[in-house]
Amino acid sequence: MTAQLHARGDVAVVVPAAGAGVRLGPGGPKALRLLEGEPLLVHAVRRLAAAPSVRLIVVAAPPADVDAVHALLAPVAPVTVVAGGAERQESVAAALAAVPEEVAIVLVHDAARCLTPPSVIERVAAAVREGADAVIPVLPVVDTIKEVGGDDIVLGTVDRSALRAVQTPQGFRATALRAAHAAAADSHTDDAGAVEKLGIPVRCVPGSDLALKITRPIDLALATHLLALPDPDAASA
Ligand code: CTP
Ligand code: MG
């Protein structure tokens, strides 16, 4: 049985949380590392559970930690926990397999983007509900971007007005996501990328600075400060 959250919700969220967190440095799986005394995964699931569209959550945990993760999350929200795989894509596939067929909208959300506000989760879900097969939250690129050759010599300056940095949750019509995973031959870090390869249009909606991915130690330091901020988008969700 898949544990249910908001009975009126129409969205399942798949949470890949099985990564090692190599770039964060020693200290165990990233999703279980602490931010102000609580694991990143707890912060992430709490925000997902606060989004009224979310009917159920399936977490892909490090295989050795499935029972511990279930115990950790039980007080936060009813969740299903499965064993993740060696690659992110395998973790997403394992969690997706636990989503009941009758749930028509599936979001994929990195545990590492643990401060993503409910407003972004609702925005992505709403765009799928309104008819998009695939939806990604994005931010404009702020740095100047150069293409550089192997010899460290600049080849050109990229027009950044057409570029976007992509976050999660990424939202999908469940049939599109399942088809993309079934067809994916090579490894991908981005589920929307796999859907793109099927020729399905992917729609962008505004992301959030709070949805940063905790990757390196500096991100954890930044997140400690961001934790104190209110969701600037709460009113426009
Ligand atoms: N992930 C996963 N299974 C994997 C690899 C990654 O579920 N085999 C998850 C991570 O737990 C994370 C998300 O995918 O929530 C994004 O991956 P990333 O930020 O790269 O996390 P890690 O793989 O843990 O970090 P690193 O690449 O530094 O080891
Ligand atoms: Mg990784």
Q: Is the CB of 169 under 6 A from ligand 1?
A: no
Does residue 111 have its Cβ closer than 6 Å to ligand 1? yes
Measure 163 CA to ligand 1 centroid, in angstroms. Answer: 24
Q: Is 207's C-beta closer than 6 angstroms to any atom of ligand 1?
A: no
Are the beta carbons of 77 and 45 closer than 8 angstroms? yes
Per-residue pLDDT tens over the stretch 34-50 = 999 999 999 999 999 99
The whole model's pTM is what? 0.96
Place 94 in a pLDDT band, splitting at 50, 70 and 90: very high
What average pLDDT does the segment 165-180 reach?
97
| Ligand lying closest to the C-alpha of residue 24 | 1
How far, in Å, CA of 176 to CA of 78, rounded? 26
pLDDT one-digit tens code per residue, 110-122: 999 999 999 999 9
pLDDT at 235 over 70: no
